[in-house]
Structures are given as C-alpha cells and as structure tokens.
Structure 1
C-alpha cells in the first residue's frame, strides 16, 4: 500500500495554528491597548484645549475651579464621572494648572496656559504571556499635557 502526500500532511494545519495563535493574541492585545491609550490621551488633550478656550475669555486669575472641573469631568460644575480612567483633580494642581502671561508693549498680548500633570493610563492587561506593556502595575505615565491660547484683548 502506497502512502499518499495527503496522509503525511494530516494535522499539520492544527500544529501550525497552535504555534501561531499565541503570537496573534499578543499582537491583538498590544494593538487594543495601544488604541485605548491613544484614545484616552486624546480625551485628555481635548479637555485641556476646552479648558484653555474657556479661560481665554475669562478675567485673568478667575474661574480656575471651573476650568479644573472642565479638564477632569468635561463640565464646569464638576459632576459626573471623569473623562478618562484615573484622571482626577489631583492631576490638575491648583497652583500650576492655570497660568496667565502678559508679553509685549504695543499691543499687549495675554496668554493662558493649562496643564495636566502625571496622568497615567491604566492598562487592562499589564502583561500578556510574559510581555510587559507598562510598569508592574500596568500604568503608562504621560508627560505633562499643556495647552496655551491667546486671550482676546
């Protein structure tokens, strides 16, 4: 009885699938977490832009609490849930969150800058199959997120 090539290949597809599945899962998790991190980063950047836009039409040195709430909660009242997981008012310190600067002589230009400090993205999967995405707790700490806008004169 002659063995055909088909009999020798039986089960090869299953072995190949078993070998490649961990790599495909790893790539899927990495892509998902990277997408989530970029989404949350963009949420925080947009909230800083909204806050600086809000403060640019206010009297310098006022409405800081409302701007902080706008950065964290997305509204000036400060109610609801934070825009991003792990974002709190502690990331928007009162002394350094909102600064005004006046430059020039003629015309006088006033700018306002808002800052979110030490925002950490919390990964759902700190590691997959031994590959660590972030620190031991699954956190990726972003550098300070700032936005500056000129206030109308």
Structure 2
C-alpha cells in the first residue's frame, strides 16, 4: 500500500509539472513577462510554505539561524531563481513538451555523473545495474527523439520563427 502512495505522488508531481509548463507557455504567449511569472510562482510558494513551517515547528523549538545559514539560503535562492528564469525563457522559445523531456533527463545524467565520479559501480552480473543502464539509454534516446523530431505541432511554436 505504501508503494502505491509513492507511485501516485510521483505521477501527480509529473502531471503538475507538465501543467505548469503548459501554463507558462500560455501566459508568456499572451504577453506575460518571464520575470513576472517567476515572482508570482515564488510568492505562491512562499505563501504555501510559510504556514506549513509554523505547523511543523509548533511543538518543538526552531533551529538557530546563523549568518552562514542566511548566506546559504540567499545563494540557493538566487541560483534557483536564475535557473527558473532560464527554464521559462527556454519554454518561450520551444515548447512545454521539450521542457518536460529535459526535466526527465535529470536521473539519467545523475547516473552518468555518478559513474564518472565513481560513486556508482556498474556490475555486469547484477539485474539492477542492467535496469539502470537500460533506463539511462532509453531516457536519453527518447529525449533525442523528441528534440530532433520536427512535426506540424512544433513548427509554429517558436519565438525564433516569429522574429
């Protein structure tokens, strides 16, 4: 039963991610600035996460906040905002489908980097290693197929063609 809950949660996150990418494309196509969308999404996240932290630390003391922690939070926030802005601009020049495909490549590249830096070993005789390798190859191949395919649905979506 626990596995089913986790699977349902993972599917829900993927559906919400695709929905957000489609919403971004629709909003920017109507003239909304990418920067304004980033501010709105951060404000919504702040308004949802702040009350949840009060409920979480309701019965226990909150951890101390040092200058080092504040600097790390600031740096991480800046990097996340910059990355999110780049993703939104990229969606404006391509399509939400391409953005979703690129996001799905994260596990494959993580696995390749783990092999490269020797955090992960590929054992030829283990089924789990076979599954990881096959999954990595399939996800990269699928992303390449979506990226290199140029059909009727993708031909008029680009901002570059409008210029």
Structure 1 or 2: more helix by fraction: 2
Query: Normalised by the shorter chain, which TM-score bucket?
Result: 0.3 to 0.5
Q: What's the TM-score, normalizing by structure 1?
A: 0.36
Which of structures 1 and 2 has the bigger CA Rg? 1
Structure 1 or 2: more strand by fraction: 1
Q: What's the TM-score, normalizing by structure 2?
A: 0.34
Compare relative contact order (CA 8 Å, sep 6+) and give the higher one, 1 or 2. 2
